[in-house]
């Protein structure tokens, strides 16, 4: 998924800094509980999942919970081929997505072609029916939902996020939705997945390594990915305005006047020896603010890397401009 603030391209850098810091203390990853409280797509925890004692992952957004519940929470294999095949061959259905987010229903919105909107409805309804009827386990339910969210995102008619739809259907959105299995890695250990505000969850968990990747600007994820939440929750509500927005939870990390206080609270209450914080050099908090907050609680260091970030334009062609960015990884080894 092309996710705002995704650390996919930075994962090798983040991983190497974490490994180096933990090893310098003579600690083995195998004995560590690794927690990530702003999980997003879960890409960083996916890398650590096979190597640590346990992963704890969390995100405020329901679609992210679905992805993390599958990619991290699922760790025992099951056969999925028949389920994916059956879902992929369902007859299209005129449900909530078609009614409110496709042009053919007269909604005035063009997030999906009519054909893809009806397929999303058919697949989503069947997954729910299977769950209600006890035909799938929780593990299978989240695996199927994650597969659908990934597939729907690939054919969404947006520049990249769901804050707006394009006026004409772009080539990738014209393709027929292809339901592919959202494969997860198999391992013996169980993991924990939460859907809470990080500042609340921090009081309920403890471990060794804490990785934090909070939003760094004013773009609320709930607004920018509202349609993925609607597919994840598939509840009944009155979509609002031109984009069919739903109510969403607002994050303090996206508000200039609140972010430093929220961040300080989080670091103070973290019952973890190693804390790593990804934060962009163009963020709402500047680097000295992050450093000064973290330094209050132990030994602080900064690791940086430069990379090319692609900014999505809002035009029809989805051209992207590369900009040079410095990514900061703030390191805190907390006092015992």
Ligand X SMILES: C[S@@+](CC[C@H](N)C(=O)[O-])C[C@H]1O[C@@H](n2cnc3c(N)ncnc32)[C@H](O)[C@@H]1O
Binding to ligand X, residues 55-84 (CB under 6 A): 58-61, 64
Give me the least distance between CB of 184 and ligand X, in Å please: 15
**Cα gap 30→34, rounded to integer Å:** 10
The DSSP result for 13-78, as a single string, is HHHHHHHHHHHHTT--GGG-EEEESS-TT-HHHHHHTTTSSEEEEE-SSHHHHHHHIIIII--S--
Q: Say if CB 269 and CB 320 are below 8 A apart.
A: no
- Out of 71, 111, 142, 221, the residue judged to bind ligand X by CB under 6 A: 221
CA atoms within 13 A on the CB side of 157: 24
Give me the least distance between CB of 230 and ligand X, in Å please: 15
Q: 188: burial class by Cβ within 10 Å (0-12, 13-18, 19+)?
A: exposed
Binding to ligand X, residues 109-168 (CB under 6 A): none
- Out of 2, 5, 115, 170, the residue judged to bind ligand X by CB under 6 A: 5
Closer residue to ligand X in complex, CB, 55/60: 60
Closer residue to ligand X in complex, CB, 117/283: 283
Using the 8-state DSSP alphabet, how is residue 300 labeled? Answer: E
What number of chain residues touch ligand X (CB under 6 A)?
23
Closer residue to ligand X in complex, CB, 170/255: 255
The contact pattern for ligand X, residues 14-53, with x = CB under 6 A and - = no contact, is -----------------------xx-xx-xx---------
Q: Say if CB 77 and CB 143 are below 8 A apart.
A: no
Give the binding site for ligand X (CB under 6 A): 3, 5-7, 37-38, 40-41, 43-44, 58-61, 64, 197-198, 213-215, 221, 251, 253
């Amino acid at each position: 998924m092309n996710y705002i603030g995704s650390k996919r391209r930075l994962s090798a850098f983040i991983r190497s800094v974490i490994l180096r810091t933990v090893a310098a203390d003579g600690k083995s990853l195998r004995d560590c509980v690794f927690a990530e409280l702003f999980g997003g797509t879960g890409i960083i925890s996916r890398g650590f999942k096979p190597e640590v004692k346990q992963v704890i992952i969390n995100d405020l957004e329901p679609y992210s919970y679905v992805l993390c519940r599958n990619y991290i929470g699922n760790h025992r294999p099951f056969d999925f081929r028949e389920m994916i095949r059956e879902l992929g061959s369902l007859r299209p259905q005129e449900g909530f997505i078609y009614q409110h987010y496709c042009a053919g229903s007269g909604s005035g919105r063009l997030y999906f072609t009519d054909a893809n909107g009806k397929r999303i409805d058919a697949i989503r309804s069947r997954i729910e029916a299977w769950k209600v009827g006890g035909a799938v386990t929780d593990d299978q339910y989240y695996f199927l939902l994650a597969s659908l969210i990934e597939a729907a995102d690939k054919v969404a008619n947006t520049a990249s996020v769901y804050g707006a739809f394009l006026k004409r259907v772009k080539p990738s959105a014209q393709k027929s939705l292809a339901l592919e299995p959202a494969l997860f890695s198999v391992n013996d250990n169980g993991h924990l997945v939460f859907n809470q505000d990080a500042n609340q969850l921090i009081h309920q968990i403890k471990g060794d390594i804490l990785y934090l990747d909070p939003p760094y600007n004013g773009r609320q994820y709930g607004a920018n990915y509202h349609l993925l939440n609607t597919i994840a929750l598939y509840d009944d509500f009155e979509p609002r305005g031109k984009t069919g927005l739903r109510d969403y939870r607002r994050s303090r990390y996206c508000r200039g006047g609140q972010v430093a206080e929220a961040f300080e609270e989080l670091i103070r209450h973290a019952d973890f020896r190693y804390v790593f914080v990804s934060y962009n050099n163009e963020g709402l908090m500047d680097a000295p603010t992050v450093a000064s907050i973290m330094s209050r609680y132990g030994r602080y260091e900064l690791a940086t890397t430069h990379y090319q970030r692609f900014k999505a334009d809002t035009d029809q062609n989805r051209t992207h401009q590369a900009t040079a960015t410095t990514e900061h990884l703030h390191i805190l080894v907390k006092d015992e």
